[in-house]
Amino acid sequence: MNEKKNGDRTIDRWPYFWWGCALMALKYNLDRAVAWWGFHRPWYFWNYIKPHGFAAVDAIPPDDQIFYFVLLLTSLPFLVLGLILTLRRLRSARLPTELCVLFFVPVINLIFFVVLTCVPAKQTAVAPSTISGWISWLPTSATGSALLSTAIIGMAGIGLAYLSTQALKNYGWGLFVALPFTMGLVSVLIYAGSKKRSFGSCLLVSMLPIAFAGLGLFVLAAEGAICLIMAAPIGLGLAVLGGMVGYIIVGNRAGPISPVTMILVLASVPLTMGMEKRADEPPPLLSVTTSVVINASPEKVWPNVVSFSSIPPERDWILHTGVAYPTRARIVGSGVGAVRHCIFNTGEFIEPIEVWDEPRLLRFSVLQQPEPMEELSPYPHINTPHLHGYLQSHEGELRLTALPDGKTLLEGTTWYTDRIWPSQYWQLWSDMIIHHIHLRVLNHIKTISEATSK
């Protein structure tokens, strides 16, 4: 690898070939070790193209999502090193550095690797001392470049987010992963287009368009404050990751990045929106269980499990954010076939009873449910698509277990699905919210049961 100043470093084809082979061999054997020792499963070369091999869909192991997430984490350093080597090989062959986007395309990247191995190095022409082309329109000051980058990419992000949520009604990998990563990447390409910038400032600028887009969606009444706050960690984190990739690109290029390339990168984001539907991937069935110990016998607790009086207005902080919360419950009928009505501040759950095992178990399905929250916004009412049919409760139960000294262990469980992806991230929020809703009901049952028992 030639030792030149940053932005001029190159690598010839044979060193590039051996480095590439070494990194691919190391990555493959690392993936094999993770698959075998961590998940007790084989991993072969063809699994990179067909991850499930030749297995039928119903034969896929249930822990696939965790497995692929681990593979993604272990691939990040290899992606960075591969991108640096590819940029330097492109510069050595005097090919457009924009071709580095092919490095991220499955199958095509292998052909691209072979082509770069075959193309000989060429002498690099001396770069002109004057700045020309589109880059001459960029501000040279750090503040001006940051503001321009934030405005352009922020407005593009608002448009693409609106397309995903309002037009496509899709809340998935395209919106929460591809979009913030791309916004962070392109914002740094613009920010560092006219002058070399520090690593820290590039990471800061990568996050600014996310904040700009979030504020814009809030002002335009496209989203409420709480949903934007919940989306902020994953959005900012992926924008920083995109900013790192952008910093590597601008630090290893011989000239400015073409604006056409930036537009194409942003335009590729809609292609990822709705890929969960195209993959026919159903949302996983999730469950949350919460428990309390009540100083009363199961026989005393049971009537308050079936139905309960109005819950006092005092509630914890998370239920002050607009999340729907229960207020009381009533039941029509008795035994299997009875219908329980759990009243929330946004409407009511209609819950036909499926198991009535007095005083041990009450299990019910969910026939109807209200909106899961009221958006916090200065506008009277925001009717966002994710309030309808995305977080869906399917079944619930209240289980009573007799404890020594006449006490009762009361456990509440909810089974639900959430069609907002990536499910691993959003499950953290939905589990926490459902847990707090459980506690509101269980603590109320505990209070009235212990008062009745005394």
pLDDT of residue 281: 67
pLDDT of residue 275: 74
Instruction: Say yes or no: 315 and 440 in one domain.
Output: yes
Residue where a domain terminates, one of 227, 258, 280: 280
pLDDT of residue 56: 41
Amino acid at 13: R
pLDDT of residue 225: 92
Return the residue matching tokens 């490095």. Answer: 103
Residue where a domain terminates, one of 280, 308, 342: 280
pLDDT of residue 344: 94
What percent of the chain has a predicted confidence (pLDDT) above 90?
47
Instruction: Provide the CA 307 distance to its chain's centre, in angstroms.
Output: 37
Domain for residue 215, yes or no?
A: yes
pTM of the model as a whole: 0.74
Amino acid at 442: L
Nearest Cα residue to 180 out of 206, 203, 145, 151: 206
**pLDDT tens-place string over residues 337-390:** 999 999 999 999 999 999 999 999 999 999 999 999 988 888 877 878 888 889
**pLDDT tens-place string over residues 41-78:** 888 776 776 665 544 444 444 456 677 778 888 888 88
CATH number for 319: 3.30.530.20
* Contact assessment for residue 95 and residue 119, using Cβ atoms and an 8 Å cutoff: yes
Domain for residue 133, yes or no?
A: no
Instruction: Provide the CA 450 distance to its chain's centre, in angstroms.
Output: 43
* Contact assessment for residue 188 and residue 239, using Cβ atoms and an 8 Å cutoff: no
Q: How many domains does the chain have?
A: 3
| Mean predicted confidence (pLDDT) in 197-204 | 94
Q: Between β-strands 391-403 and 326-332, what pairing exists: parallel, antiparallel or unpaired?
A: unpaired
pLDDT of residue 54: 44
| Confidence grade of residue 293 (pLDDT, cut at 50, 70, 90) | very high
Residue where a domain terminates, one of 280, 315, 332: 280
Domain for residue 116, yes or no?
A: yes
Instruction: Say yes or no: 297 and 386 in one domain.
Output: yes
Which are the contacts of 408, defined by CB distance < 8 A and separation ≥ 6? 293, 294, 296, 297, 298, 300, 301, 400, 401, 402, 449
Domain for residue 126, yes or no?
A: no
Which pair of structure tokens corresponds to residue 450?
């212990």
* Contact assessment for residue 306 and residue 449, using Cβ atoms and an 8 Å cutoff: no
Q: What average pLDDT is seen over the chain?
A: 85
Neighbour tally for 334: CB within 10 Å = 11
Domain for residue 18, yes or no?
A: yes
Residue 80 reports pLDDT greater than 50: yes
Instruction: Say yes or no: 275 and 294 in one domain.
Output: no
Lowest mean pLDDT among 200-204, 245-249, 258-262, 343-347: 258-262
Instruction: Say yes or no: 64 and 202 in one domain.
Output: no
Q: Between β-strands 286-294 and 407-418, what pairing exists: parallel, antiparallel or unpaired?
A: antiparallel
pLDDT of residue 79: 83
* Contact assessment for residue 335 and residue 319, using Cβ atoms and an 8 Å cutoff: no
Instruction: Say yes or no: 443 and 302 in one domain.
Output: yes
| Mean predicted confidence (pLDDT) in 189-209 | 92
Return the residue matching tokens 């800061």. Answer: 204
Which pair of structure tokens corresponds to residue 13?
């084809």
DSSP string, 111-157: HHHHHHHHSPP-PPPPPPSS--GGGGGS-SSHHHHHHHHHHHHHHHH
Residue 105 reports pLDDT greater than 60: yes
* Contact assessment for residue 250 and residue 257, using Cβ atoms and an 8 Å cutoff: yes
Instruction: Say yes or no: 269 and 344 in one domain.
Output: no
Nearest Cα residue to 259 out of 185, 210, 189, 201: 189
pLDDT of residue 129: 41
Domain for residue 127, yes or no?
A: no
Instruction: Say yes or no: 291 and 436 in one domain.
Output: yes
Domain for residue 173, yes or no?
A: yes
pLDDT of residue 127: 47
pLDDT of residue 253: 66
| Confidence grade of residue 128 (pLDDT, cut at 50, 70, 90) | very low
Residue 40 reports pLDDT greater than 50: yes
Nearest Cα residue to 61 out of 287, 352, 284, 290: 284
Give bridge partners of residue 408 from the DSSP assignment. Answer: 294, 402
| Confidence grade of residue 133 (pLDDT, cut at 50, 70, 90) | low
Strand ranges (DSSP E) for 250-390?
286-294, 326-332, 339-344, 347-357, 361-365
Look at residue 370 and give its three-state secondary structure: coil
Neighbour tally for 51: CB within 10 Å = 14
Instruction: Say yes or no: 425 and 389 in one domain.
Output: yes
pLDDT of residue 321: 85
Instruction: Say yes or no: 264 and 200 in one domain.
Output: yes
Lowest mean pLDDT among 228-237, 249-258, 370-379: 249-258
Domain for residue 129, yes or no?
A: no
Neighbour tally for 75: CB within 10 Å = 14
- Residue range of the domain that includes 172: 141-280
Instruction: Say yes or no: 52 and 87 in one domain.
Output: yes
Instruction: Provide the CA 210 distance to its chain's centre, in angstroms.
Output: 14
pLDDT of residue 63: 57
Instruction: Say yes or no: 44 and 63 in one domain.
Output: yes
Instruction: Say yes or no: 235 and 111 in one domain.
Output: no
